[in-house]
């Protein structure tokens, strides 16, 4: 995985446990074949965009879409991109 690992964002979590969680997640993501929509904030400091991009790449679904809400963080997606957020969901459901 590119960039910082999950372990860097887990505070006091045992590094081995963090590594195990990341490995488990990657294995599960690689088996996801249903449609996937990822909506993420461009400037999310809690869950960095790079992590969402890596997660998105790990999904094997042929029907996947990622939407990045510009200037949005972790908890303000609706405030920064209300129309874009709901348009992405609507378009994904009806595609």
Q: Per the domain annotation, does 81 fall within a domain?
A: yes
pLDDT value for 1? 44
Q: Per the domain annotation, does 5 fall within a domain?
A: no
Q: Per the domain annotation, does 7 fall within a domain?
A: no
Q: Find all residues with CB under 8 Å of 51, minimum gap 6, and list them.
A: 3, 6
pLDDT value for 10? 53
Q: Per the domain annotation, does 94 fall within a domain?
A: yes
Total domains in the chain come to: 1
* Cα 1 from Cα 94, distance rounded (Å): 32
User: Tens-of-pLDDT digits for all 95 residues of the chain?
Assistant: 455 555 555 556 677 777 777 788 888 888 899 999 999 999 999 889 998 998 899 999 999 999 999 999 999 999 999 999 999 999 999 99
Residue 50, both tokens = 């790079």
pLDDT value for 25? 80
Write out the residue range of the structural domain in which residue 91 sits: 33-95
């Amino acid at each position: 995985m590119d960039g910082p690992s999950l372990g860097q964002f887990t505070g006091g979590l045992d590094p081995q446990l963090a590594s195990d969680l990341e490995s488990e997640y990657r294995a599960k993501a690689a088996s996801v074949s249903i449609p996937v929509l990822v909506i993420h904030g461009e400037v999310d400091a809690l869950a960095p965009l790079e992590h969402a991009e890596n997660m998105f790449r790990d999904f094997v679904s042929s029907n996947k879409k990622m939407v990045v809400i510009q200037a949005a963080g972790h908890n303000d997606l609706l405030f920064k991109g209300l129309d874009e957020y709901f348009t992405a969901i609507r378009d994904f459901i009806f595609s």
